Structure 1
Amino acid sequence: MSPSDWMPDITHPWTRFALIVVVALAVAGILRRVMHALLRRFAVRHPMGASIIMRANAPIEAMLPLAMLLLAFRAAPDEPARLVDGLEHLVGVGFILACTWFAVRCVSALEAAVARFNPIDLEDNLRARRLQTQVRVLGRTAMVLIVLLGIAVVLMTFPGVRQFGASLLASAGLAGLAVGLAAKPVLGNLIAGMQIALTQPIRIDDVVIVEGEWGRVEEITSTYVVVAIWDERRMIVPLQYFIEHPFQNWTRTSSQILGSVLLWFDYGLPLEPLRAELERLCKAAPEWDGRVMGLQVVDSDERAMQVRALVSSTDSGKSFDLRCKVREGLIAFVRKEFPGYLPRLRAEVPMEERKADRAMSPS
């Protein structure tokens, strides 16, 4: 048997096509090794880039061979190329999906890198919360748009879909109105997300009061906000709510906050000892930040006066604890030092009843 009997015919179109595919996959493997070497060197010098490279590695592994296969199909002889049109279209769709996957992973990696290098578990975390909110909201919006664009590009590769789209455009008046009304909540939330990212009425870890509930902004997605309530419940609020309805943000410019304690005492209670006790309580409390401390009479009626103790803390959680300590300490101080000046009800007894009571008493 001569060598020509078992060796493949290189002049045959299918043989040349197979060789082209093998060469393309080999080149893809070489490019993969070279790219990994370059990316490793880049990651050493740029820690944030290392996080992006690590997350985007998987789609890159898929993109390189698919891209080389597409080039191989373009360079294939005419006869095999006509027979493998379906396979080429399938590889093209896979390449588009891989590119979409790559873009989504890059956005996700950028979001994770910003969160890693700008932690919010610090006392002064205003800048970190601002950056995380912007990147997270814009990132989620970008992911949605990237996925929609990828699906649209894939659908446009099918001739039937293109013709169906052209026929729809011919009668797009009523259909467009119906689609617009149906997509209003989705589009409204996307626009609200862009507004929140740019103007930032709320940020990650902001302390807010929504629908009468006190909580912290735990998560901001492309459609809703998760507010962690103080008793470990979670309130899910649409993004549009924060654009269309008023709400309280206790950490809009700073986490520092003032807390008040209101107490009722008798008019005869001296205020200077109470102020001295308030000062002692604040200086002994680690929650007090040393900025504000004061005691004033803010209201009165026919029976008692209302005293307000105003104290400051670095955040709302410490303010709540400090207010509880001040309230308990002042009440205990008055009960111990001035028990006769606690609030009580007084009644005037007519003179005749007093004389009757005295006459009936054993003494």
Structure 2
Amino acid sequence: MENVLRPLTVVCAAVVLTLVAGWLLDLLLRQADARHAETPLWGLLRRCGLPFRLVLGTAVLQAAYRPAGVLPAHADAVGHVLTLVQIASTAWLLVGIATAVVEATYARYAAVSPDEARVRRVRTQVTLIQRVLTALAVVVAAAAMLLTFPAMRTVGTSVLASAGVLGIVAGIAAQSSLGNLFAGLQIAFGDTVRIGDTVVVDEEWGKVEEITLTFLVVRTWDERRITMPVSYFTSKPYENWSRGGAQMTGTVFWHLDHSAPVALMRDRLAEILPDIPEWDGRTGTLAVTDTTPNTIVVRAVVTAKDADDLWTVRCAVREQLITWLSDRHPYAFPRVTTTEVIPRDAP
């Protein structure tokens, strides 16, 4: 009977200790989060509750399972399983802590920084750093878990001896993937494109929604997603409308008759622009830029804080001025001059 009660008691005690310690840690983190509202760090660390309980629980069981006689006939197998769980949960806990620290630091920086472009740059770098740390932790944890098997330790020397040849072969086979990986790091720290930038790629314009180590996602104006390898942005030309600031300048063209009231159009443009919320007030001009035998080309130059607002301003200016011309000056639209056809007399 003792052979059953003693192991069961030890296991139950380890579970209770783990749950109590996890509850106390969560309580302390909640109190710290309430006292320090200026940073989200303590709230983010609460996500690490489960891996913390696993680390603590496996550590307690590793120390007590042999003296308690838990499955004595399979003690080595139990110890091996606990070691594997310990390695995996430790990696999970470290990744969670690192992610919480990085996200909290970024949140505090974004809250006090007035430079939106710089905030987007930091966000891009933070996202890629998180992915690199996660990948590194997974690789190290997987390697450590494999080395706990005697067979893997036996072939370790052979693996290290052939690592050079395998590295060359893997490098050739994964040349495209490695190129994307280094391109992702170049984008993150070279500040060529950032999350939230407005770009034009393959004649499609949209905002950069996600950047990973291998691909980049652009969300177009009509809610489509274009997924492209990050190496595209280091090897081919593209337009970045947010580089150096998101402010944009755009044009609106009209093809009108030579008699169009250009001066009145200029005054009307000055009247309607203040009523368009998306106009940023920087520029609003109108001029004749070209002429043909039948028409003149009138161009308005307007500005907005970003590409989305600029599109709205251009559409509003075009629509309102066309409506105004139609109501007040219909003669301003191009006219096709015709003459009556005089039939020739039959012979």
TM-score when normalising by structure 1 = 0.79
Deviation at 1:318, TM superposition (A): 1.6
- Give a deviation string over 1:245-288, Cα, whole Å, max 9, x none: 22212222322211111222233434211210111121222221
Measure how far apart 1:144 and its partner are: 1.6
CA distance in 2, matches of 1:150, 1:173: 22
- Give 3-state SS (helix, strand or coil) of 1:204's partner: coil
User: Which sections of structure 2, spanning at least 5 residues, go unmatched?
Assistant: none
The answer to whether the Cα contact below 8 Å between 1:25 and 1:69 also exists between their aligned partners in 2 is no
Residues 214/30 of structure 1: CA separation in 2 closer, same or farther (3 Å cut): closer
Q: Deviations over 1:55-79 (max 9, x none)?
A: 1111001110112233346x859xx
Percent of paired sites with the same residue: 34
Residue 179 of structure 1 deviates from its aligned partner by: 1.0
For residue 143 of structure 1, the aligned residue among 130, 134, 137 is: 134
Aligned match for 1:274, one of 243, 265, 276? 265
Question: Using a 3 Å threshold, how does the CA distance of structure 1 residues 155 and 15 change in structure 2: closer, same or farther?
Answer: same
| 198-207 vs 29-38, greater mean Cα deviation | 29-38
* Aligned: 1:63 with 2:55: yes
Query: Secondary structure, in 3 states, of the residue corresponding to 1:269?
Result: coil
1:43 pairs with 2:33: yes
1:90 matched to 2:78? The reply is no
Counterparts of residues 117-136 of structure 1 (less than 5 Å): 125-136=116-127
Q: For residue 89 of structure 2, what is the amino acid of its counterpart?
A: A
Q: Which of 278, 281, 297 is 1:290 aligned to?
A: 281
8 A Cα contact 2:29 2:46, kept in partner: no
* Aligned partner of residue 292 in structure 1, secondary structure: strand
Question: Which of 193, 209, 212 is residue 203 of structure 2 equivalent to?
Answer: 212
Are residues 1:324 and 2:315 paired? yes
Q: Provide the rounded CA distance (Å) in 2 between the counterparts of 1:19 and 1:333.
A: 87
Q: 1:343 to 1:62 in 2, by over 3 A?
A: same
Q: What amino acid is the match of 1:153?
A: A
SS of structure 2 residue aligned to 1:259: strand
2:290 to 281, 299, 308: 299
Residues 273, 234 of structure 1: alpha-carbon distance in 2 compared, 3 angstrom cutoff: same
- TM-score of the two chains, using structure 2 as the length reference: 0.82
Aligned residues of 1:297 and 1:306 also touching (Cα < 8 A): yes
| 3-state SS in 1 of match to 2:140 | helix
Consecutive unaligned residues of structure 1, counting only runs of 5 or more, are: 1-5
**Map of 1:3 onto structure 2:** none
Equivalent residue for 2:191, pick from 194, 200, 218: 200
Q: CA deviation at 1:327?
A: 1.2
The answer to whether the aligner puts 1:245 opposite 2:236 as a matched pair is yes
Deviation of 1:40 (Å): 3.8
Matched residue type, 1:217: V
